[in-house]
């Protein structure tokens, strides 16, 4: 087999890149080790930055997003039993976010890939990368009982934290910066009407809580927990009691409750691999970096990565210049580290760290009070949340 770009991984990064390349007339083959049903049903993040929405629309993937996605013009920061609103359009010149689940994004992008008759292969096995430091990199993989070899110009590693692409870069040529947080998120999906028209980020003495939404009838909610806790320890009654406690307000607000049909404990890490390229291999999305979910940056960083990479590949095929490709890593990492900083800041402001005392809790309250009473501080939060300008 021969193609221009081989893409490993059909998550948001791989699918977005494949669509961007298709729109530019660049051939690609997309390989995924999971089934189509699995990638289209895995529940993940649902907050899309302003720029990510624009990108989806620009590649013809925004029709259902525009129809079904929820426009959020801000978030609520809840502390001391009161809500303070961060008004995104007022602070950012009219920008907002959309709440549209990641698996719905994937459904839309898979449908476009199949409709274009572009090569996408699910449930492939034994993917290996070869000759990355030459002008003719190669991949080997097994599809059913057959073994295949792809010759290509470039390989895009979009296969996540447990994929083969990142570890195909020699260990002496890559550095990993990481932090594991001493808490996780206990997440639920429930059948209930929305508890709020916008997300609620709450700080409580017992820890963080988040009220989100997925649709008019399905809601997503989280609270901070011990990362080694077990889902089986939490009955529905105990879960709702915890949410009521952490989300309580002085005016008696309470979440809308309903049958819980999914429970999960999510660990939290910050990870960055540098550089994001080696020879003709380019990493994007979770293959290169992971952020804690507090800042809602995971999917959006993947979109930012592939926007930079697609533009660099377009320049190469149009003019033969590798200038943009040569600085892909440095360009992408500027945004990655800014997102890591924002996610760390949001996490540290809203979570109770083990071993901290009442002094630290009062500092957090003061930080939240400052952020919600200073226009400059609120603007900094809003600008980061709706998405910083794309790097060039």
Cβ–Cβ < 8 Å for 156, 66: no
Among candidate residues 138, 194, 293, 351, the one labeled active-site is: 293
Q: Reply yes or no on whether the pLDDT at 300 is more than 70.
A: yes
Among candidate residues 12, 22, 50, 72, the one labeled active-site is: 72
Q: What is the pLDDT of residue 214?
A: 80
Cβ–Cβ < 8 Å for 74, 371: no
Q: Reply yes or no on whether the pLDDT at 29 is more than 90.
A: yes
Helices and strands, counts by H and E, the chain: 13, 20
Q: What is the pLDDT of residue 216?
A: 84
Question: What's the CATH class of domain 5-72+97-177+269-350?
Answer: alpha beta
Average pLDDT of the residues in 249-266 = 96
Q: Reply yes or no on whether the pLDDT at 266 is more than 80.
A: yes
| pTM for the structure as a whole | 0.95
Listed in sequence order, the residues at least 6 apart from 289 whose beta carbon sits closer than 8 Å to its beta carbon are: 271, 272, 273, 301, 336, 340
Q: Which residue has the tokens 């794309």?
A: 390
Q: What is the pLDDT of residue 41?
A: 87
**CATH superfamily of this structure's domain 181-268+354-386:** D-Amino Acid Oxidase, subunit A, domain 2 (3.30.9.10)
For the ranges 104-108, 157-161, 212-216, 281-285, which has the lowest average pLDDT?
Answer: 212-216
Among candidate residues 22, 103, 297, 351, the one labeled active-site is: 297
Nearest to 7, CA basis, from 272, 273, 274, 285: 285
Listing DSSP states for 224-269 in one string gives: EE-TT--GGG--HHHHHHHHHHHT--TT---PPP--EEEEEEEEEE
Is 263 considered catalytic here? no
Among candidate residues 100, 181, 201, 328, the one labeled active-site is: 201
Confidence of residue 229 (pLDDT cuts 50, 70, 90): very high
The rounded distance, in Å, linking the Cα atoms of 326 and 329 is 8
Average pLDDT of the residues in 298-306 = 97
Q: What is the pLDDT of residue 11?
A: 95
The rounded distance, in Å, linking the Cα atoms of 332 and 254 is 41
Q: CB 377: neighbour CB atoms within 10 A?
A: 16
Is 50 considered catalytic here? no
Q: What is the pLDDT of residue 143?
A: 95
Q: What is the pLDDT of residue 392?
A: 55
Confidence of residue 172 (pLDDT cuts 50, 70, 90): very high
Q: Reply yes or no on whether the pLDDT at 123 is more than 60.
A: yes
Across all residues in the chain, what is the average pLDDT? Answer: 96
Cβ–Cβ < 8 Å for 236, 260: yes
Q: What are the start and end residues of each CATH 3.50.50.60 domain in the chain?
A: 5-72+97-177+269-350
Q: What are the start and end residues of each CATH 3.30.9.10 domain in the chain?
A: 181-268+354-386
Collapse the DSSP code of 342 into the 3-class scheme (helix H, G, I; strand E, B; otherwise coil) and give the result. Answer: helix
pLDDT tens column, 319-375: 999 999 999 999 999 999 999 999 999 999 999 999 988 999 999 999 999 999 999
Give alpha helix (H) positions in the chain: 12-23, 36-39, 50-58, 63-68, 88-92, 102-115, 165-168, 236-246, 298-319, 323-326, 328-350, 358-373, 375-386
Among candidate residues 76, 100, 222, 385, the one labeled active-site is: 385
Listed in sequence order, the residues at least 6 apart from 196 whose beta carbon sits closer than 8 Å to its beta carbon are: 76, 211, 213
Is 297 considered catalytic here? yes
pLDDT tens column, 180-210: 999 999 999 999 999 999 999 999 999 999 9
Q: How far is CA 355 from the centre of its chain?
A: 29
Q: CB 326: neighbour CB atoms within 10 A?
A: 13
Name the token pair of 89.
């359009």
Strand partners, 178: 271
Average pLDDT of the residues in 46-72 = 96
Name the token pair of 356.
């901290």
Q: What is the pLDDT of residue 162?
A: 93
């Amino acid at each position: 087999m021969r193609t221009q770009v081989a893409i490993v991984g059909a998550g948001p990064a791989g699918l977005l890149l494949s669509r961007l390349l298709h729109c530019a007339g660049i051939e690609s083959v997309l390989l995924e080790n999971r089934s189509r049903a699995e990638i289209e049903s895995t529940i993940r993040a649902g907050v899309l930055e302003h720029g990510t929405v624009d990108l989806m629309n620009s590649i013809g993937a925004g029709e259902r997003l525009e129809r079904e996605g929820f426009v959020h013009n801000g978030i609520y920061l809840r502390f001391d039993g009161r809500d303070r609103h961060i008004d995104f359009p007022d602070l950012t010149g009219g920008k907002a976010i959309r709440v549209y689940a990641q698996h719905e994004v994937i459904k839309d992008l898979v449908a476009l890939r199949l409709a274009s008759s572009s090569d996408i292969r699910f449930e492939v096995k034994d993917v290996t990368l070869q000759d990355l430091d030459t002008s003719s990199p190669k991949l080997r993989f097994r599809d059913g009982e057959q073994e295949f070899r792809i010759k290509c110009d470039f390989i895009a590693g979009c296969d996540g934290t447990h994929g083969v692409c990142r570890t195909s870069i020699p260990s002496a040529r890559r550095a990993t910066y990481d932090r594991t947080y001493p808490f996780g998120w206990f997440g639920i999906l429930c059948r209930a009407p929305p508890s709020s028209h916008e997300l609620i980020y709450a700080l409580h003495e017992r820890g963080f809580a988040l009220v989100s939404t997925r649709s008019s009838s399905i809601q997503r909610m989280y609270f901070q927990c011990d990362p080694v806790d077990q889902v089986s320890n939490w009955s529905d009654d105990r879960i709702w009691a915890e949410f009521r406690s952490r989300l309580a307000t002085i005016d008696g607000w309470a979440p809308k409750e309903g049958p819980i049909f999914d429970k999960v404990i999510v660990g939290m890490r910050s990870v960055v691999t540098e550089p994001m390229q080696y020879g003709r291999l380019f990493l994007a999305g979770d293959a290169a970096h992971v952020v804690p979910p507090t800042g809602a940056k995971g999917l959006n960083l993947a979109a930012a990565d592939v926007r930079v990479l697609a533009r660099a590949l377009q320049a190469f095929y149009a003019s033969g210049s590798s200038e943009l490709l040569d600085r892909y890593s440095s360009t992408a990492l500027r945004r990655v580290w800014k997102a890591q900083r924002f996610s760390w800041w949001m996490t540290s402001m809203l979570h109770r760290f083990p071993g901290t005392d009442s002094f630290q809790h009062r500092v957090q309250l003061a930080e939240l009070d400052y952020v919600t009473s200073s226009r400059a501080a609120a603007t900094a939060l809003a600008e980061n949340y709706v998405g910083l300008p794309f790097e060039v």
